[in-house]
Structure 1
């Protein structure tokens, strides 16, 4: 048995909203026609677990019995969440994991938690469960991906982001990735400010915090920043295989163009684009807007899927795949299968874990789309 069980993916059904922006009479919408503006206040308000993880809890995470680290993670995080509760602000019994009180009262060692493991072992499920289990008002806890956090800094500015998040009890950061030296300094400085303000930070990643940046850039000049960031977290290793594919039927092969077109026109709320055109469009829209670009979309239909031409394009596609997966949007495609999107050089390079995650998630969404064809 793996975790979370494969059944939830089968239970999820795409939502079918009414008419959506960009939809032409009698046909699907084109994602390439969308370049939404996302106000900064929306970026803050939407820092909550996405729809796919809206109902997850510790008690519906099913550990793989062959991977004891999974059950241990549930126990450790449950204790961590309980430690964030207690009397209202000002009560003497309130426990703050990060606030720098008198030195004698501060527990030794790192007081944040960092979930490390491969893609598909349920890290996001556990992180979202922690967010749900923490006894705090919705506006006192935030949940977002690393990319969404850096986008928030870009939208609000550094100081305003610090002020906005400093009043939070908990900040959950999913898929913590330091792919750029500038981001290393930015996030390290931001977390330092938030830690000083008493914010508890929990994060997931595919890389141990002491190894952030390894194989991605010459880290010598930034090693101090990386090590300082690592010191904020207690690493919690989660072993296992990708639950999205264990015990499930093999993902369907790509369909022909006519099938994709037929389904796109028959499915209310579907989008319909040529894959090369979509890749070109992504280069013109900031990744912080990819989520809004998918608003109201019930299914994504793509023709001519082919290997991505370069790394910048590949990284943009990874962000789009994450936003579609979060929103449970099935993907129906013609052309090449999703496991051929990225070159061997990419899959062996510094961003390999991002690419494998994207393949895993797109394959799961392709499996979800099979019902659109058969229906």
Structure 2
């Protein structure tokens, strides 16, 4: 975020984008500039946009109502002045999140919210569960959920819009129909075009009305930027820092800020087989954990797989020397590294020694040799240039 007072900042995302290019903070890119121009148009339209934060519960009607629940949007219609949102789709590392950050930072909307889509859906499920407990006998939590979300934001900015879970797919149609009916404008980034969401998954036919609904309310813009800037950034960073001292901590702070676009992430909860895996800091596909949180807790292969597939980079603080005395942690660390390696997740870490000296002697030291070899390879430019496998 810029530290300049609001009146000193450029007006809108396009001006801010151009200012950062001129300052050398961003490389000129025609596709990014085109996207910034489209976001600028939406920024102008949205200035002061503040529809009614709530709307009456809708009546049952329509295909979406039949497919996704007992009630649809009924005769409730979006406000006449509701702008069309934007769905920015492109390959990883093309600058989609950066552009949305510029838009969100400058958006002059009284109620606005930027959130990772996975976190939004987790929050929605939690709110539905709580509403059902507080309202026994009532059978439709979607209208009150939409009221709560609308009261928080007339502009919702979603990062990494993806749908992999059938329970998410089955509530999205009714929830977004209700949000659009209440005037909520959606801006999203995604690696997947709307027509390809939930593709090949069981039950997708029932999901198609949601895709049609999204395309009705947002413009789809394909970002064909010149390169994978995310991979270029990490290829320019040292990824293994030892010993794990104050200097190493500062290096990890800088790496997280560079890759995640913020000095500090927000807590994130991954749901794995019905259990919660807590990630203390996350932003833009980058997670940060300390070694004890990652390997001292009772996590298993499925948990590490979720981390490796959900995040493209893990920043890991304070890997200690390993041996028979802390082999439980060492075993979990081996499993974590295997998951990261198999999915080409990048690792930036501080440790007490180089990889091949972390576990030098004692029982199971030989078992760690393959892990040490993988940790060395994961520092190479060839590995850092590989695409993440989510």
Q: Give the TM-score taking structure 2 as reference length.
A: 0.53
1:242 aligns with 2:228: yes
Q: How many residues align?
A: 262
Rounded Cα–Cα distance in structure 2 between residues aligned with 1:285 and 1:148: 15
Residue 245 of structure 1 aligns to a residue whose secondary structure is: helix
Map 1:186-197 onto structure 2 (within 5 A): 186-197=171-182
- Give the conservation status (yes or no) of the 8 Å contact 2:301–2:335: no
Q: CA deviation at 1:169?
A: 2.1
Q: What's the CA shift string for 1:221-258, capped at 9, x where partnerless?
A: 43333333333321111123221332765555767xxx
Q: Which residue of 1 aligns with 2:368?
A: none
More strand by proportion, 1 or 2? Answer: 2
CA RMSD of aligned residues (A): 4.8
Name the structure, 1 or 2, with higher relative contact order (CA <8 Å, separation 6+): 1
Q: What's the CA shift string for 1:151-193, capped at 9, x where partnerless?
A: 2112222444311222322011111110012212222321111
1:315 aligns with 2:306: yes
Inter-CA distance 301–160: structure 2 relative to 1 (3 Å threshold) = same
Q: CA deviation at 1:333?
A: 5.7
Aligned pair partner of 1:211 in 192, 196, 200: 196
Q: Which residue of 1 aligns with 2:78?
A: 100
Inter-CA distance 236–218: structure 2 relative to 1 (3 Å threshold) = same
Unaligned runs of 5+ in 2: 2-14, 53-76, 129-141, 253-269, 321-332, 355-390
- Give the conservation status (yes or no) of the 8 Å contact 2:51–2:79: no
Aligned pair partner of 2:99 in 117, 120, 126: 126
Rounded Cα–Cα distance in structure 1 between residues aligned with 2:119 and 2:183: 21
Q: Which residue of 1 aligns with 2:109?
A: 136
Q: CA deviation at 1:87?
A: 7.8
Rounded Cα–Cα distance in structure 1 between residues aligned with 2:205 and 2:50: 44
Inter-CA distance 172–218: structure 2 relative to 1 (3 Å threshold) = same
1:74 aligns with 2:31: no
Residue 244 of structure 1 aligns to a residue whose secondary structure is: helix
Rounded Cα–Cα distance in structure 1 between residues aligned with 2:213 and 2:50: 31
- Give the conservation status (yes or no) of the 8 Å contact 2:156–2:184: yes
Aligned pair partner of 2:47 in 73, 85, 92: 85
Aligned pair partner of 2:154 in 159, 163, 169: 169
Q: Which residue of 1 aligns with 2:125?
A: 154
Residue 108 of structure 2 aligns to a residue whose secondary structure is: coil
Rounded Cα–Cα distance in structure 2 between residues aligned with 1:343 and 1:215: 26
Q: Which residue of 1 aligns with 2:211?
A: 226
1:112 aligns with 2:54: no
Rounded Cα–Cα distance in structure 1 between residues aligned with 2:119 and 2:218: 20
Q: Which moved more, 1:164-173 or 1:199-208?
A: 164-173
Q: What's the CA shift string for 1:24-67, capped at 9, x where partnerless?
A: xxxxxxxxxxxxxxxxxxxxxxxxxxxxxxxx9544366654x5
Inter-CA distance 253–128: structure 2 relative to 1 (3 Å threshold) = closer
Inter-CA distance 63–336: structure 2 relative to 1 (3 Å threshold) = farther
Rounded Cα–Cα distance in structure 2 between residues aligned with 1:112 and 1:281: 29
Unaligned runs of 5+ in 1: 1-7, 9-55, 91-98, 271-279, 348-355
Rounded Cα–Cα distance in structure 2 between residues aligned with 1:298 and 1:219: 34
Aligned pair partner of 1:286 in 268, 276, 289: 276
